[in-house]
């Protein structure tokens, strides 16, 4: 089923596992003009479906991600034709961040506290009470299942034994799709992103998908690339392995 919403064509998903190709062309019946699916700025392409593991993996492996207010209960699927990414080798570390890192007040771990990180992303600064909040219990459960399969990963920043911030996302081939980040102390999420970029650079990761452009992500090296380049880089010949794929699992830490 297909409908026009705010000038874009939007597909309604059913129980079958499928997504429309984001670069498919269609003829707009309103004016007979040929347009791309998801031609809007955000790449809103489909509604409905579910968050079962098989659908989420199909989505991420083809450049899609879900994003919707969990109280609305209708899943929205996005696949922007212009992707906002950070290439690990291009990560910009500001003078102030270098100064902070040189104080060695924090340590960074990978994939040791996924539940704390995803729930921190959902609740920090009262996010869970906002209308647009999307990390409801069903979403947390869905990404926890991905985590149990080794596809959803977290980066944690600690001061002593206290979690100061972090981020989580989904690994896809050579890339990492960042879902959310949070800070309980200034710049903790930036430390997590820098540590992730450095590890990816050392272990063959090609890009970090930031999903949404923000001023601080732009300042750290974020830029746009097209969907074709994005999906080609994601599907490169060798997959990026996060730290818990190695014998140092549950013990990987970087002092920053």
Give helix 137-148 / helix 53-61 axis angle, nearest 10°. 80
pLDDT tens string 157-176: 999 999 999 999 999 999 99
Burial of 17: CB neighbours in 10 Å, binned 0-12, 13-18, 19+: middle
Question: What string of DSSP letters covers 54-86?
Answer: HHHHHHHHTT-EE---TTT---EEE--SEEEEE
Q: How many CB atoms lie within 10 A of CB 223?
A: 14
The pairing of beta strand 107-110 with beta strand 65-66: unpaired
Nearest to 180 by CA among 143, 138, 231: 143
Decide: 26 and 9 in contact? Cβ < 8 Å.
Answer: yes
Secondary structure of the chain: what % helix, strand, coil (to 5)?
30, 30, 40
Q: Is the pLDDT of residue 59 over 50?
A: yes
Percent of the chain with pLDDT over 90: 66
Residue 74 banded pLDDT, cuts 50, 70, 90 = confident
Domain residues of the chain, as ranges?
2-79, 84-255
| Mean per-residue pLDDT, 178-192 | 96
DSSP symbol at 213: -
Ordered alpha helix ranges (H), the chain = 53-61, 95-102, 114-123, 137-148, 188-202, 215-219, 227-234
Rounded CA-CA distance 75/12 in Å is: 10
Rounded CA-CA distance 115/68 in Å is: 20
Q: Which residues pair with 224 in a beta bridge?
A: 84
pTM of the model: 0.86
Residue 189 banded pLDDT, cuts 50, 70, 90 = very high
pLDDT of 118 reads 97
CATH class of 2-79: alpha beta
pLDDT tens string 95-128: 999 999 999 999 999 999 999 999 999 998 777 7
Question: For residues 130, 136, 139 and 141, what is the CA-based torsion angle, rounded to 10 degrees?
Answer: 150
pLDDT of 135 reads 84
Asked if the 84-255 domain carries CATH number 3.40.630.70, the reply is yes
């Amino acid at each position: 089923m297909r409908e026009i919403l705010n000038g874009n064509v939007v597909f309604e998903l059913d129980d079958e596992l499928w997504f429309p190709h984001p670069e498919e062309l269609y003829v707009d019946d309103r004016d007979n003009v040929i347009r791309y699916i998801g031609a809007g700025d955000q790449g809103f392409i489909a509604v409905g479906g579910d968050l079962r593991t098989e659908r989420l993996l199909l989505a991420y492996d083809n450049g899609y991600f879900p994003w919707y207010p969990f109280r609305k209960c209708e899943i929205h699927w996005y696949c922007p034709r212009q992707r906002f990414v950070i290439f690990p080798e291009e990560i910009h570390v500001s003078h102030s961040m270098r100064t902070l890192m040189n104080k060695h007040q924090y340590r960074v771990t990978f994939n040791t506290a996924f539940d704390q990180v995803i729930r921190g992303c959902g609740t920090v600064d009262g996010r869970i009470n906002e209308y647009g909040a999307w990390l409801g219990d069903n979403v947390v459960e869905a990404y926890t299942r991905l985590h149990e399969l080794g596809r959803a990963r977290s980066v944690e920043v600690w001061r002593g034994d206290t979690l100061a911030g972090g981020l989580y996302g989904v690994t896809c081939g050579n890339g990492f799709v960042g879902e959310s980040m949070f800070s309980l102390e200034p710049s903790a999420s930036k430390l997590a992103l820098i540590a992730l970029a450095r590890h990816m650079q050392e272990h063959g990761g090609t890009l970090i998908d930031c999903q949404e452009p923000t001023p601080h992500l732009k300042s750290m090296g974020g830029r746009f690339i097209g969907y074709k380049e994005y999906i080609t880089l994601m599907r490169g010949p060798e997959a990026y392995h996060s730290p818990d794929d190695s014998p140092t699992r549950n013990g990987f830490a970087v002092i920053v």
